[in-house]
Amino acid sequence: MVEQVRDYLEQHQERFVGELVEFLKIPSVSADSTLKAETRRGAEFVQQQMEAAGLESRLIETAGHPIVYGAWQKAAGKPTVLVYGHYDVQPPDPLDQWQTPPFEPDIRDGHIYARGATDDKGQMYTHIKSVEAWMKTRGELPVNVVFVIEGEEEVGSDNLDRFLAENKDLVACDIAVISDTSQYAPGIPAITYGLRGILACEVIVNGPRQDLHSGVFGGAVTNPANGLARMVAALHDDQGRVQIPGFYDNVIELTQEERDQFAALPFDEAKFMSDLGVKAVSGEADFTTLERRWARPTCDVNGMISGYTGEGPKTIVPAQARVKITCRLVPDQNPKALTKALEQFLLEQLPAGLTMQFIDYHGCKGLVFDFNSPYMAAARTAIEQAFGTAPVMIREGGSIPVVETFQSLVGVETLLLGWGQNTDNLHSPNERFSLESFRQGTLASALLWQELANIQV
């Protein structure tokens, strides 16, 4: 049946790698306004490849970098799959830490090294090549596909959100697919079925109108730094539980099945600690490290500043203290409600003599998908056949806001099928992508179209 497709992928793999090299040579750094034209070249490359694969495609202009839209929708009665990815990349700095230049792709040790290799050019490209294989060998796809490949993922996706909101008909689908995450470990492919959400804020505590002499005034006025420390300390109890009222009310607890799945994953805590350079792990009592990272909400200080921070001592009572805080959230915690609750809680802790200003930055919900859904089953089968081993079901501690957008705006769940590795240096020097993962991912994608075609919609 798909032997032809499989053979096509095998025969053309070398050319695919060559194309990826060309793609990776384009410095499509969305954050760098001097590279606006180069970033557009990235979009044009993607569009040409979509056309070559047999998709109807076009560039959709935005206030920023264009979105590349492609579609093939002739599989009547079959599911429609939305493939999301991005052609923009992180800035390559610090340049002096790259072994080979970030935009001169180098193949060594079975990897292709370049900025964007795994995040997300290499991973995204697998889906275009799998479409090509189907179209060139069978003249059709077993499902309908819609590609939305944006150029602003690394700078906040503002224009994507606007595009999705204004073009619901163009992106109507039954399921979304994103390959922009990682496998669990080398040789252990994974499907990510949950993401944490986030709320972010900054708290500014003001005391005296200027820094005061700590001898003349110390002890008689509330010190904003000491005060802020007390407020931050109050956020957790001794068991690592967050003390914001109602914080855990809507938390969907891990099922025993999930805990068993996590516990069955190979995880070397000693290596985890030594990689991070810490002598102990810690966190909410009665949860494992993986549970804490993937499925429990947090409240972390991201930054803090007050008074004199130069060399040596300075005898002042600072006028102000500031802290940046993010909470990672899990379903069904509500970012907006908890941001309010956090502000209220901190206000209640505010010592007399201080005033408080609260800046609400942004938030998004945590998500968890049913890992027994027919879509998940299809993905599992495709991956198992392509990688030769069944994927593990994992969650991810970070947030991918577009996944929430797909759910809230388009009304669909997302299959997070990561072909990369955590060790691929994404956002860091010497970013890379395994050529074997590239091959396996492309095959998994091709198989996925077939598996998804079996689902009744």
> Please, which of residues 219-258 interact with its own copies by CB under 8 A?
219-223, 225-226, 228-230, 232-236
Q: How far apart are CA 47 and CA 58, in angstroms?
A: 6
Edge-first strand listing for the sheet containing 197-206 = 320-329, 197-206, 355-364
Cis peptide before 300 (omega within 30 of 0): no
We find the least distance from the C-beta atom of residue 78 to its own copies, in angstroms, to be: 35
Residue from 41, 136, 259, 324 touching its own copies (CB under 8 A): that is 324
Q: Which residue's CB is nearer to its own copies, number 168 or number 314?
A: 314
Phi, psi of 434 (to 5 degrees): -70, 130
Q: How far apart are CA 452 and CA 440, in angstroms?
A: 18
In sequence order, the 6+-apart residues with CB closer than 8 A to the CB of 320 are 204, 205, 206, 207, 224, 306
For the segment 286-315, give every residue that binds its own copies (CB under 8 A).
289, 292-293, 296-310, 312-315
Contact 433, 440 (CB under 8 A): no
For the segment 338-367, give every residue that binds its own copies (CB under 8 A).
351-355, 361-362
User: How many residues bind to its own copies according to rule CB under 8 A?
Assistant: 82
Q: Which residue in 288, 298, 290, 359 sits closest to 333, CA to CA?
A: 298
We find the least distance from the C-beta atom of residue 163 to its own copies, in angstroms, to be: 24
We find the least distance from the C-beta atom of residue 86 to its own copies, in angstroms, to be: 18
Q: Which residue's CB is nearer to its own copies, number 127 or number 328?
A: 328
Contact 342, 325 (CB under 8 A): yes
Q: Which two tokens stand for residue 176?
A: 């979304």
Residue from 239, 256, 282, 456 touching its own copies (CB under 8 A): that is 282
For the segment 166-205, give every residue that binds its own copies (CB under 8 A).
196, 198, 200-202
Binding status of residue 439 toward its own copies by CB under 8 A: no
Binding status of residue 397 toward its own copies by CB under 8 A: yes
Contact 91, 32 (CB under 8 A): yes
We find the least distance from the C-beta atom of residue 109 to its own copies, in angstroms, to be: 24
Q: Which two tokens stand for residue 237?
A: 């109890």
For the segment 203-222, give every residue that binds its own copies (CB under 8 A).
207-210, 212-222
Coil/strand/helix, residue 216: coil
Binding status of residue 336 toward its own copies by CB under 8 A: no
Q: Which residue's CB is nearer to its own copies, number 108 or number 314?
A: 314
Binding status of residue 331 toward its own copies by CB under 8 A: no
Q: Which two tokens stand for residue 167?
A: 């073009």
Q: Which residue's CB is nearer to its own copies, number 1 or number 352?
A: 352
Q: Which residue's CB is nearer to its own copies, number 322 or number 365?
A: 322
Q: How far apart are CA 52 and CA 133, in angstroms?
A: 11
Q: Which residue's CB is nearer to its own copies, number 77 or number 303?
A: 303
